[in-house]
Every structure is written in structure tokens, then in C-alpha cells.
A and B are shown apart, each in its own frame.
Chain A
Amino acid sequence: MGFVEVKSRSSISDRQLVVDPKKCTGCRQCEIVCSISQCGVSNPTKSRIRIIHWRNKGIFIPISCQQCEDAPCMTACPREAIQRDTGLNRVVVDYDRCISCKICVSACPFGAMGFDPQDQKIFKCNLCDGDPQCVRFCYPQSIDFTDPGRLQYPRIRNAALKYAGFGRKTHVVFSGK
């Protein structure tokens, strides 16, 4: 038996952008920061991440590119301008090949592909080259850039806490009842 080489789980290439809608307050800071970071102007319509809300019900859901493994935008592109960047595990647009036909905009099931009418270019989340600004400015920590192995961990922990009955008068698991 030889030693198995264990890769560091915190390397950038393994990380994914994940959202927890429960924590989102709908402040839209991510939208503004994204547009300033990517375009140099403040304009939420140019943001790569959008907050979809049902304000009366208190529901806010951040939506951005999911960097799908089998990306419909990539499949739909007639010029093969959309490719996977294995270094950062993301889907990127090659603007030298792109003809701005907007088929990818129609193909994306999340509506995460956008079109800038001023520049006549499509745009999508590029994970800010490994340092997403939306994550930096999300103070409620609704958006996270994390290791896939730890995606479910906070929820598992919460579920475990509830199961154990912490916060209740009697601990269901440990009282033996």
C-alpha cells in the first residue's frame, strides 16, 4: 500500500459560488458592487448577479451563473465562443469568437446570461477571476464562495442541532426518550 496524495480542498479551482436565500436581505449591494467591478459604472441591469424578490413575503433569492457542468449556453453557441475554464472551474466567453447572436441568452435556464446594449456584448459571471466581489460585500453572508465538499455542511449542522433538540427544554436524543 502506498500513500494517497491528498489535494488541498481549499484550492481556488474547487470553489463554487453558492447562495443561501434564507440569509439574503435584498439589500442589492451585490448587484451594485458587481456592476462597478465589472463595468466601472453603477447600474444593476449590468450586474452578473441579480436579486429576485417577493418583498411582501420577505423572499429574496440571488441568482447568478451556476457554471453548469453541461452548460446549455456552451452547447447552444454556434461559434463555440463559450468554453469551460478548468483552472477556475467556470464557464467563460471568448469575445474574439463571440458574434453577439444572443442565443446563449435564450438558452440559459437561469437567465444568468445578459446583454449590454451599449457595448453590444453578452456578459456573464466570471467569478471575478477567483475573488468574487459580491461575496466580499455580502455582509449577511448569503452568498459564499466555498468548497463543494462543505456546501451542505451548515445545513446538516443546523438539522443536527434541531434533531438533538438544542434550545428545547428536553434533549430528544440525549434524554433517551
Chain B
Amino acid sequence: MALNRKLAYIDLGQKKTIVKEIPYEWRRKFLGGRGISAYLLFRHLPKGSDPLGPGNVVIISTGVLGGTGFGPFECTGITSKSPLTGLSAFSPVTGHFAGEMRWAGFDHLVITGKSRHPVYLYIHDGKIDFKTAKNLKGKSISETLGNIRKDLLDEDVRALVVGPAGENRVCFADVSTDCGHRAGRTGMGAVLGSKNIKAVVCRGARDVLVKRPVDLLAYQKEIFDRLLPIIHLPHAPSTFEKNEVSIRDMTVNSFQRADRDSEMALRHLIAESGSDLFSTRCILEWVLRLFQAGIITQKKIRDIPLSRNNIATHMEVVNRITANKGIGTTLSLGPLGASKKLGKESLSCFPSVIELIQMYTEAVADPLAPAQRDISFLKVNNNAHEKSYPIKTTGMRVTDRCESGSIDRRTMGKMPGRKVSEMVANCLGFNGFHVPEDILGMPLFSVYEKLLDLVTGLRVKKNDLAEIAHRCYATERLLNLRESSIHGRPASITEAFDVPVGLRMTKSCWDGLELKTFQRLVSRYYKGKGWDRKSMVKLRFFKNLGIEDLWVLLK
């Protein structure tokens, strides 16, 4: 049985593991990957737990198609309560870890509690070992990897590694794979670091069964032949390109670039420290502007001689953020957190709203259409945004508008096509698989349907896939509702709009989007999807989705 897979509950406090089989019912409801992770997080996350406390739960997951040869599209997902947003977050990371985890025998790892001492988890052939990482404390990403490989006497291990930034709980710390791919946003590095986990290492030799291998290879070949000449995959650069670039290109246009060597040295420092590159660069630019505006004084930053052209300055700020010392203590909270200490007017110095929102979003933008960005922080796709930037994945638009068929309209509402597609892809174990149907030669959902059949033998229709996407989406949203009602934190980025001086709106999809318009769109969206005005839901909503067991946990 290709779906006869296992999940492990790992209690770091007691150093115990419980291995269970993933129920078939969960597969029918959530498929795998992001879907089952959202469900598990809802079930195991204690209400109102601190994201950086021992109560938080981290779930590392792969999808049902992980390790079956979809190299550039495969992803591992890290799901937890984000220290940056205080809401549930799914951070995908491409690379070979997903496959290795499946070959090691597991599809999901549910990590709870907190270890007394730094450890790394060694997962191999159905076993999970807790290895001491005392000697790895404070080590950079590459040093940690080198030491682990030496320790295990194995050069081929795959790993998710946390850098010093994660250890020191910098809220935008990322998790790096051994190939240099990053789970950049939402601060998953800080969550793993807070649990005293330095790395999760996998090595496996177990079979991942494939239902119809010959047909699968023929179909994979057809897909790759169509896609690879056309699509550039910015998030999976090493797979089909020789020059391995582990760091994504930056989009902070306002940053004054120093000479190339210094620039690369800065990037290397940020990457090795385990901070999200994009977020750190935004923060660096912000610090400079705060200094120019007089909000940060020389006294506050002590001996750092701040200068735009001096790369050593930036490196020093990065070191302080990584060490979580001095000015780094404030900056490591992220812009919204830091603005509470520095004053609300400090946010007006942030490079732009786009950068601010991107820092808080959880997934990379569509590789085919970088302009088409969702407000994925909110998990809202407002209609105005879609109108100004029509979505090219027309197949998906058909799927969600016309072919919803038996799906209950009240629950389905107007969930945007690309959101449905993204959710299903994440459940399958893909990331960045937004491909127009004219390239694939058929609607994307038909591809998913066929792949599921070939790999697992699971016959799922398009409507079922859309319903699964909505169920996963609703589960995440319900968890966010529960958590946001406790912290009194609105589940939106309206805080970003609530600044005395208007933030500069760069030419983007956010042009002219003011707070009231934004709130109106949000309320209209939720009303259309079955949520009431206060975004609260009733038991029948859970029953419609088949997740009524979560109702008790919501209350």
C-alpha cells in the first residue's frame, strides 16, 4: 500500500517517540503534507501557547508525492505557530529532504516539548535518535552540517539546520537544508531553536511504494518535457542549473549596493547565521532610515558607525541581530514587534508596505507571475487585487467557479482558484507548481488527479480536491481565529496601516489600497465563504467539512 505510511510523535522533554500509522481517513480528508499538518497542529497545539515556549508544536511534513521523482517541485513543510505573526504558519522548503524523510520511514514528525540540552534528531530507517548537539551550539549552518556528517560518518545525510539566529530566537530566523534551500519566512528557525533543536537529520533506505511505476515514469517525462524548457524555478535553483545559488535574489530595490565582493560577504554572513535573507536586508535598510530620521540614536547603537556605503556596518548589525544583543534585541522581534519599542512612527521609515507584508507572508510568490501576490499572511485574496492582475491559471478559475459541482456553495464560497491550487499542491508535497494549462496541456487539477492515481492508487476527483483544499484552509483559519482571540491580536496586518505617517505605496498591487477598503474586502470575503461578521463559525460549518472533532478544541 503506497499510502501505508507513518508519523512520529516526538516528545523532546521526555525524549520519547511514538510511531503511528497515518489513518486512511485523514488521507481522504487532507491528503497529506500541509493538510494533515494543519489538522495535527490544531489537535496538538495548546490554546494560547507561546510560539517560542515549550508548548508550541512543530510539524515537519512531506506530501503524498514526496520522493517519487518530482525533484524541483518537491517540498518539505514546516508547520507551527509563528513567532512573527502569532498565527499558524506553513513554511515550505524545496530540496531533497522530503524524499529522504520518506525513505527514512516517516511522512510527518510532530515535535512537542523542549529539550534540556541542545540536540539534533537523527532519523534513519524507521528509528529516531536524540543526539547531543552541545558541541554545535553557536555554530554556523555549514559548520553544523560538517560536524554532523563527521559525527555520523555519512556524507549523504540530508538535514534541516538551524543557525545561531534560530538558537537566539530571532523571530525571522530560517531553517536551511543541506543544499542551501531555506524555509525563510515566518521564523521557523526560532521555533526549532526555542526547543533546543539544532538540526533534523535524515538518512533512509526504505522503499516508497509506487502504484503504477511504468505509467508514472512516462507521465513524469511528459510533464518535465513540457515544463522544464519554459519555467525558471527561482526557489529550486540547484536542481537543473549547474551554478548552485543558495540565496534567492533580493527585491529590496532601495538598498544601495556595495561592491560585489562585500555584497556576497554580507549575504554569506546572513545565510550562515540562519536569518532570512530578505527579512534581514529589509531590517538593515530600516535601521539606516531610522538612524537618518533620528529615531535610533548613536547612543542606542553604541559603537556601530552606521553608514550606508560601509558594508562592515551592516555586518555588525547582522551580528548583533544574530546574537540577540544590544540593538539586535529589539530588531530581532521583527518590524511590528520592534515598532512597539521604538514607537509607531518608526514604521513609517520601513522601506515600503510591500516589503513589510512580504516579511510576514509565508510562501514565495508564484514563479511565473511575481506580480500576482496574494495577501497570504491573511490567507485572503481580495477581488480588487485579482481584477487588476488577472490570474493566468485559467484552468483553476474554471475549477473554482464552474466545476465546484457537488461542493456545498456555502462552504466553498469564492475561494480563489490559485489558493485552491496552492493548497492542493502543498498537500501533495509540491511547492510553486502554478502552471498554466496551456503549458501542461490539461487543467492542473487533472494533472494532480492523475499523479495521485499513478503514485498512490487514490482516486480523487477534481471536486474532492477542491473540497480538501477548502477543508485544509478552513482548519488553518479556525486555528488562527482561536489563537488571535486569545492574544487580542487581530488576524490581519491592519497594524501595518495604523501608522501616523503614511507609508510610501510603491507601484504595486497595493496601490491605493487603504485601510477601510482593505477591511471591507476582508469582511466581504469571509461573508462569501460562510464566516459571519465576527469571523466566528457554527457547528454545522464543521460538520459540512467533516472536521467536527475540532469543534471542541475551538471552544
Could you list which residues of chain A lie within 8 angstroms of chain B, going by C-beta atoms?
A: 22-23, 25-29, 32-33, 36-37, 39-46, 53, 55-56, 58, 118, 133, 136-137, 139-140
Q: Please tell me if the beta carbons of B238 and A42 are within 8 angstroms of each other in the complex.
A: no
Whether A43 touches B103, Cβ cut-off 8 Å, given contacts A27-B238, A55-B178, A137-B221, is yes
Please give the number of chain B residues whose Cβ is less than 8 angstroms from any Cβ of chain A in the complex: 34
**CB nearest neighbor in A for B228:** A139
A84 to B184, CA, bound (A): 52
Q: Please tell me if the beta carbons of B216 and A36 are within 8 angstroms of each other in the complex.
A: yes
Which of these, B96, B213, B224, contacts A40 with CB under 8 Å?
Answer: B213
A41 to B211, CA, bound (A): 9
Could you list which residues of chain B lie within 8 angstroms of chain A, going by C-beta atoms?
A: 67-69, 71-72, 96, 99, 102-103, 142, 155-156, 178-179, 205-210, 213-214, 216-217, 220-221, 224, 228, 238-242, 244
A58 to B242, CA, bound (A): 9
Q: Please tell me if the beta carbons of B238 and A26 are within 8 angstroms of each other in the complex.
A: yes
Q: Please tell me if the beta carbons of A41 and B207 are within 8 angstroms of each other in the complex.
A: yes
Q: Apart from A23-B242, A36-B217, A44-B103, what 7 extra A-B contacts exist at CB < 8 Å? A: A26-B238, A27-B72, A36-B69, A42-B207, A53-B156, A136-B221, A139-B228
Please give, as numbers and ranges, the residues of chain A lying within 8 Å of B155 by CB-CB distance: 53
**CB nearest neighbor in A for B225:** A139
Which of these, B71, B142, B209, B214, contacts A28 with CB under 8 Å?
Answer: B71
Q: Please tell me if the beta carbons of A140 and B242 are within 8 angstroms of each other in the complex.
A: yes
A39 to B288, CA, bound (A): 58
Which of these, B68, B72, B178, B240, contacts A42 with CB under 8 Å?
Answer: B68
Q: Please tell me if the beta carbons of B213 and A36 are within 8 angstroms of each other in the complex.
A: yes
Please give, as numbers and ranges, the residues of chain A lying within 8 Å of B224 by CB-CB distance: 137, 139
Q: Please tell me if the beta carbons of B244 and A58 are within 8 angstroms of each other in the complex.
A: yes
Which of these, A33, A45, A53, contacts B69 with CB under 8 Å?
Answer: A33
A33 to B220, CA, bound (A): 10
Please give, as numbers and ranges, the residues of chain B lying within 8 Å of A136 by CB-CB distance: 221
A136 to B67, CA, bound (A): 18
Please give, as numbers and ranges, the residues of chain A lying within 8 Å of B67 by CB-CB distance: 32, 42
Least Cβ–Cβ distance between B513 and chain A, in angstroms: 41
Please give, as numbers and ranges, the residues of chain A lying within 8 Å of B217 by CB-CB distance: 33, 36-37, 133
Least Cβ–Cβ distance between A48 and chain B, in angstroms: 15
Q: List 27 A-B contacts (CB under 8 A).
A: A25-B240, A25-B241, A25-B242, A26-B238, A27-B238, A32-B68, A32-B71, A36-B69, A36-B213, A37-B217, A40-B209, A41-B209, A42-B69, A42-B102, A43-B103, A43-B205, A43-B206, A43-B207, A43-B208, A46-B207, A53-B156, A136-B221, A137-B221, A137-B224, A139-B240, A140-B240, A140-B242
Least Cβ–Cβ distance between B382 and chain A, in angstroms: 38
Q: How many A-B residue pairs have CB under 8 A?
A: 81
Which of these, B99, B209, B242, B244, contacts A32 with CB under 8 Å?
Answer: B99
Q: Please tell me if the beta carbons of B208 and A25 are within 8 angstroms of each other in the complex.
A: no
Least Cβ–Cβ distance between B431 and chain A, in angstroms: 16
Least Cβ–Cβ distance between A143 and chain B, in angstroms: 14
Please give, as numbers and ranges, the residues of chain A lying within 8 Å of B142 by CB-CB distance: 56
Please give, as numbers and ranges, the residues of chain A lying within 8 Å of B220 by CB-CB distance: 33, 137
**CB nearest neighbor in A for B2:** A41
Please give, as numbers and ranges, the residues of chain B lying within 8 Å of A28 by CB-CB distance: 71, 96
Least Cβ–Cβ distance between B142 and chain A, in angstroms: 7
Which of these, B102, B206, B239, contacts A27 with CB under 8 Å?
Answer: B239
**CB nearest neighbor in A for B240:** A139
Please give, as numbers and ranges, the residues of chain A lying within 8 Å of B239 by CB-CB distance: 25, 27
Please give, as numbers and ranges, the residues of chain A lying within 8 Å of B209 by CB-CB distance: 40-42
Please give, as numbers and ranges, the residues of chain A lying within 8 Å of B240 by CB-CB distance: 25, 27, 139-140
Please give, as numbers and ranges, the residues of chain B lying within 8 Å of A45 by CB-CB distance: 103, 205
Q: Please tell me if the beta carbons of B207 and A27 are within 8 angstroms of each other in the complex.
A: no
A95 to B239, CA, bound (A): 36
Whether A36 touches B68, Cβ cut-off 8 Å, given contacts A56-B142, A139-B228, is yes
**CB nearest neighbor in A for B237:** A25
A27 to B221, CA, bound (A): 15
Q: Please tell me if the beta carbons of B69 and A32 are within 8 angstroms of each other in the complex.
A: yes
Q: Please tell me if the beta carbons of A29 and B179 are within 8 angstroms of each other in the complex.
A: no
A136 to B214, CA, bound (A): 14
Among A23, A26, A36, A137, residue most surrounded by chain B Cβ atoms (within 10 Å): A36
Q: Please tell me if the beta carbons of B71 and A41 are within 8 angstroms of each other in the complex.
A: no
Please give, as numbers and ranges, the residues of chain B lying within 8 Å of A53 by CB-CB distance: 155-156
Please give, as numbers and ranges, the residues of chain B lying within 8 Å of A55 by CB-CB distance: 178-179
Please give, as numbers and ranges, the residues of chain A lying within 8 Å of B102 by CB-CB distance: 42
A140 to B228, CA, bound (A): 11
Please give, as numbers and ranges, the residues of chain A lying within 8 Å of B228 by CB-CB distance: 139
A53 to B149, CA, bound (A): 13
Please give, as numbers and ranges, the residues of chain A lying within 8 Å of B99 by CB-CB distance: 32, 42
A90 to B208, CA, bound (A): 29
A45 to B179, CA, bound (A): 20
Least Cβ–Cβ distance between B196 and chain A, in angstroms: 27
A55 to B244, CA, bound (A): 10
Q: Please tell me if the beta carbons of A42 and B179 are within 8 angstroms of each other in the complex.
A: no
Whether A29 touches B69, Cβ cut-off 8 Å, given contacts A36-B216, A133-B217, is yes
Report the 6 A-B pairs with minimum CB-CB distance, sorted nearest first.
Answer: A41-B207, A42-B208, A45-B205, A32-B69, A40-B213, A27-B239
**CB nearest neighbor in B for A24:** B242
Please give, as numbers and ranges, the residues of chain B lying within 8 Å of A42 by CB-CB distance: 67-69, 99, 102-103, 207-210
A132 to B96, CA, bound (A): 23
A33 to B99, CA, bound (A): 13
**CB nearest neighbor in B for A118:** B207
Please give, as numbers and ranges, the residues of chain B lying within 8 Å of A137 by CB-CB distance: 69, 220-221, 224
Least Cβ–Cβ distance between A83 and chain B, in angstroms: 27
Least Cβ–Cβ distance between A35 and chain B, in angstroms: 8
Please give, as numbers and ranges, the residues of chain B lying within 8 Å of A44 by CB-CB distance: 103
Please give, as numbers and ranges, the residues of chain B lying within 8 Å of A36 by CB-CB distance: 68-69, 210, 213, 216-217
Please give, as numbers and ranges, the residues of chain A lying within 8 Å of B179 by CB-CB distance: 55
Q: Please tell me if the beta carbons of A41 and B208 are within 8 angstroms of each other in the complex.
A: yes
A133 to B216, CA, bound (A): 12
Least Cβ–Cβ distance between A19 and chain B, in angstroms: 14
A26 to B242, CA, bound (A): 9
Least Cβ–Cβ distance between A117 and chain B, in angstroms: 9
A26 to B209, CA, bound (A): 23
Q: Please tell me if the beta carbons of B206 and A29 are within 8 angstroms of each other in the complex.
A: no
A58 to B228, CA, bound (A): 22
